Amino acid sequence: MRTTVPVVIAFLSGLVLAVSIFFRPDKTIIGQIEPEILVWVTIVGGFTLFLGAVSITRVNFNTVRRRKKGWGYSLLTLISVFVMALPSLLPSSWSPLFGDAEGSIYDWLFQYLDKPMMATMFGILAFYIASAAYRAFRARSAEATILLLTATLVMLWRVPMGEAFLRSIHVALPELINTYVMNGVNMAVQRGIIIGAALGAASMSLRIILGIERTYMGKG
Amino acid sequence: MLKNFKIILIPITVFFLFLFLTVEPVLAQGGEESAFRLERINALVFVLVFSAAVLLYTRWAKQGKTLFVRKIPGIDAVEEAVGRATEMGKPVLFIPGLQELDDIETIAAISILGRVAKITAQYETPLLVPVRYPLVLAAGQEVVEQAYTEMGKRDFYNRDIVRYVAGEQMAFTSTVNGMMMRERPAANIFMGAFFAEALLLAETGNAAGSIQIAGTARPEQLPFFIAACDYTLMGEELYAASSYLSKEPLMLGGLKGQDFIKVIIIILILIGVILVSFDVGDWYYKLFKMA
Amino acid sequence: MNFWNKIDTLDRRWIYLLVAISVIVPFILPVKLPVYVTPETQQLYDAVENLPDSSIVMLTFDYYPSTIAETEPMSRVALHHLFRKNIRIVTVTTVPLGGPSMAEQVTREMAEQYGKVYGVDFVNLGYKANYVAVLKGMGSSIEAIYPTDNLSTPLSELPLMNEVKNYDDIDFIFVVADNGIVDYWISIVNALYGTPVGCGVTAVMAPKFYAFISAGQMTGLLGGMKGAAEYELLLGQPARATTGMDAQSLMHLLIIGLVLMGNIGYFVGRRQKGKKA
Amino acid sequence: MSGMEIFVLWLEAFITLAIFSFLYKDNSVYHLVESVFAGLSAGYYVGLYWKSIILQQLWEPMTRADNPKWWLFIPGIFGLMMFTRLWPKYSWISRIALAFVMGSTAGIFLITQLHGLVLPQMQKTMLSLINSDGLEASFLAVIVVIGVISTLIYFYFSKEHKGFVGVTAKLGIWFIMISFGAHFGYTVMGRVSLLIGRVQFLIEDWIGSF
């Protein structure tokens, strides 16, 4: 019972969706199923919002209650969750501070705290890209040398001085990099990886539909 | 196993009955266009051939035929990494990507998590699994609990091993980065769908001195994982990892089926190139049209 | 331990410091690294420069707030050039988030500098959903798609819009975008109605469009901050992109320099180990 | 500037500097901002899911007066099943909902990957090697065809990388490295402009306001 029902459900939902793509939505019920089921999946996911909130609350609450190291930070996280979430759940007809419209607590916190935090995290990428390049681009092997040479060449090409330098070697060099490296080799490799990964994903999907792969329902 | 096939047969019958019922009224209406999308018949044939190949190899595997699969270094490193964490008495950090469970990469990651959890359970090594979506949280808890139970280490399981950290991409990243610097995991394993945060996570992990193994099917993030991690599973290798780690012949069947199809794809492409080059390939080219 | 050994095992924080310096310094002391104009930028500049006096140009604000570091300077150079040449401007956007308000803000700010009048010299049409329908619809009648401008004034009350019925009345389309909408400006508007289209796009997108340039479907292309800086140079009005470009160039050169140093350090280190053994 | 504007400006500057301080080392100011960030974003998603999913996609279509989608009670029940996870004894019930999500995902991906990705990518690789557009186009076609095939062979698991397979796979990894190097070098520009955006804020907007 505990394994059979999930296996059957996975099989049915998988098969229906796989088949529905071959039927016209305006002519058959089965053809209409695909978009409908996608909404269903979203709805199931929507309910889990409480599970997420429960998980983050429990982890942090336990830290605070047991006065574990850094419990102050956990308290802060707890407060932040509720300050953000609660007003957004209340109807905006009660007060302009509730709901999620402009002027609400939810919107203010998002605009002035969340947004700059996100932007700054993105800004850190520039530092990391430099240190990763410095450390990883060493000519340790033939492959590593190829990697570092192409990266350097492309980086040169992307800034004015570098491009002028490349043009001074040969007028058509920037064009050549664009044609043969970016649209040639790069595209071919991306295509190869995409085809391979798609086969892997399809075979994984098949194993799930047929119940061969069911780590998630109590069978390894 | 036979029992399971019966289980599968019942819904198939139900399904086809259902199909019949929905198609029938439409056929009765009669129309210029059929209810079936004839233009997608190429995809149907392809899916059927693919499924047949995977199932056939799976069957051979079950009959005890030995299937050879070459070594995949990144996957072998997973066990080593957990071993090192055990020696050092430090935790293993596993991140199943930053997508919801409706992405197949995440499902692959969850399945790998199941295998990794078995190894950590066996060695009694602490495991940390921060996740970004609650559905992934549920699935992750399910597989980890199962792994610990199966290895007879229930006492070491606690449901906060897999924990929901934050919903937003960069909030998740900043928290996990903090976690890496404070808990100093001996090994970081990144599997699944990653975006701009790939480098943010991997570079911080590198600074914290952890062994790092990454795997993703997204070609645009692979260069950054390769630069900052010790081992990287590229594209298809991510999907191969769970079969490979399970070491069950049944799971390897899928891998062999894929390889078989890959050879067919290469042959089909070559035939296409030859035909198109001599300007006689128009009909052939159209066979692969996506509709 | 000599210098090269140290380089081989450099603390990453030194690298972060170098990155910070190379990004901050150009803002305080503009280095003014030389900028070279690429043929694609020159082509766009020439296309605008060769438009007759009082032509009408459509300028788009097809970008989200997250990419303004790259795209807003492009909108500004376009506005400078157009207003300076007394060309009249109709702005539109296919991006709901921020698009209309950014268009409004930047356009009015620039118009003030040049003493231009809303409704006569420029009009902001704003955003309408479903871009394919919008792009196609404006081919037959702009008024059918946009009955009013961004601030809900009926088009009939705007003198400029009395002269503009559809793409036939527009001499040039200057697209500034950070997303796939560019493909549609080319494949729908340029292909079906023949209005020349020039584009400014983010650096990541740019190379994809070289093919359009060589096929003659696109008249000129600005790629990222670099493209905007080149245009600023042609205009003789260095602004944010030029300062930003210094930082960009310094960063690229810094990374290339670091890679070079790292490799020398690595080889020197290996050689010494070899000697000891 | 109004008092509120000044407050917001300084708040944003504080956040920016606090997060950048992590580059030097992990510290309590970063930890503080990180804790708030995590909490806010979890709270943000609660509000987002509540409004955009539970209210807009479930409650409103199900209860509206004309043409209500009554059948949405099925995913509603699946959704409720997820709550059994809070009581370990019954948590197996939630597996049914999980199986539904996983099965649906698998069903969609099985077809879309093969139909939407593999077929068109194969088709686009069938390029004419004898090209009327000239030698350059032919050369490009050769590169693309060899690149795709050698990459695919690199991912062939059934044989050791020896002999013919070994040589092709080696070629494949060289191609892969060129591609990754190019992609890395190419991305630097976009990442740097994100940092420039932040520095512009700090120098021109914040320090500029002193």
Q: What is the pLDDT of residues B186-198, one digit of tens each?
A: 999 999 999 889 9
Q: Closest Cα of chain C to A124: distance in Å?
A: 10
- The sign one gets for the Cα dihedral C247, C253, C258, C259 is positive
pLDDT at B12 over 70: no
Chain A environment of B104 (Cβ under 8 Å): 201, 204-205
Mean pLDDT for the stretch of residues D80-103 = 91
The C-alpha angle with vertex C67 and arms to C61 and C68, in degrees rounded to 5, equals 65
HEC profile for C98-109?
Answer: CHHHHHHHHHHH
Helix (H) or strand (E) holding C90: strand C88-93
- Partner-chain contact C244 D200, CB within 8 Å: yes
Cβ(A151)–Cβ(D181) below 8 Å: yes
Kindly list the domain boundaries of chain A, sorted by start residue: 1-89, 137-220
- Partner-chain contact D188 C252, CB within 8 Å: yes
Which chains have at least 3 CB atom pairs separated by less than 8 Å from chain B?
A, D
What one-letter code names the amino acid at C277? A
**Higher local confidence (pLDDT), B221 or A175:** B221
pLDDT at C139 over 70: yes
CATH of domain B78-246: 3.40.50
Token pair recorded at residue C22: 């190379």
Chain B environment of D110 (Cβ under 8 Å): 47
Say how many C-beta atoms besides its own lie within 10 A of residue C128's C-beta.
Answer: 17
Q: Which of A58, A199, A216 sits opposite B143 (nearest CB)?
A: A216
- Partner-chain contact D40 B171, CB within 8 Å: yes
Q: What is the pLDDT of residue B87?
A: 94
Measured torsion, CA atoms of residues C210, C211, C215, C221, in degrees rounded to the nearest 10: -20
Cβ(C254)–Cβ(C19) below 8 Å: yes
CB distance from A134 to chain D under 8 Å? no
Cα–Cα separations (whole angstroms), residue D66 to A37, D62, D63, D69, D70 = 22, 10, 9, 9, 11
Chain C environment of A134 (Cβ under 8 Å): 10, 12, 15, 255, 258-259, 261-262
Q: Closest Cα of chain B to A10: distance in Å?
A: 11
Mean pLDDT for the stretch of residues B28-52 = 78
Q: Which of A12, A110, A143 sits opposite D177 (nearest CB)?
A: A143
- CA B247 – CA A220 distance, rounded (Å): 11
Give the helix ranges, DSSP H, for chain C: 3-8, 12-28, 39-49, 68-84, 99-114, 131-140, 142-145, 159-163, 181-184, 191-193, 210-214, 224-235, 240-276
Cβ(B236)–Cβ(D176) below 8 Å: no
Q: Which of B138, B222, B255 sits opposite D82 (nearest CB)?
A: B138
pLDDT at A70 over 50: yes
Class level of CATH domain C39-238:
alpha beta
* 8-state DSSP, C92: E
Nearest to A52 by CA among B130, D91, D74, D57: B130
Q: Which residues contact B248 (CB under 8 A, 6 or more apart)?
A: none
- Partner-chain contact D126 B42, CB within 8 Å: no
Cβ(C23)–Cβ(D199) below 8 Å: yes
Looking at chain B, which residues constitute the CATH 3.40.50 domain(s)?
78-246
pLDDT at D126 over 60: yes
Q: Which of A102-116, B32-46, B108-122, D82-96 has the highest mean pLDDT?
A: B108-122
Share of chain D above pLDDT 70, in %: 100
- CA D194 – CA D200 distance, rounded (Å): 10
What's the pLDDT band for C221 if we cut at 50, 70, 90?
Answer: very high
Q: Which of D98, D126, D157 sits opposite B240 (nearest CB)?
A: D157
pLDDT at B68 over 60: yes
Q: Closest Cα of chain C to A154: distance in Å?
A: 10
B196 phi-psi bin (left φ>0, alpha ψ -120 to 50, beta other):
alpha
Token pair recorded at residue A144: 């590593």
CB distance from A59 to chain D under 8 Å? no
Mean pLDDT for the stretch of residues A90-106 = 85
- Partner-chain contact A121 B200, CB within 8 Å: yes
Chain A environment of B6 (Cβ under 8 Å): none
pLDDT at B11 over 60: no
CB distance from D71 to chain B under 8 Å? no
Mean of the per-residue pLDDT values of chain A: 89
Cα–Cα separations (whole angstroms), residue D102 to A10, A41, B40, B148, D105 = 7, 9, 25, 22, 5
CB distance from C252 to chain D under 8 Å? yes
Give the helix ranges, DSSP H, for chain D: 3-20, 28-49, 60-63, 73-81, 94-111, 119-125, 135-154, 163-200
Chain A environment of B160 (Cβ under 8 Å): 55, 58-59, 62
Q: Phi, psi (5° rounding) for residue C117?
A: -110, 135
Q: What is the pLDDT of residues B127-175, one digit of tens each?
A: 999 999 999 999 999 999 999 999 999 999 998 899 999 988 999 999 9
B231-234 and C88-93 as β-strands: parallel, antiparallel, unpaired? unpaired
Report the side by side order of strands in the sheet with C221-223. C122-127, C88-93, C56-62, C172-177, C197-201, C221-223
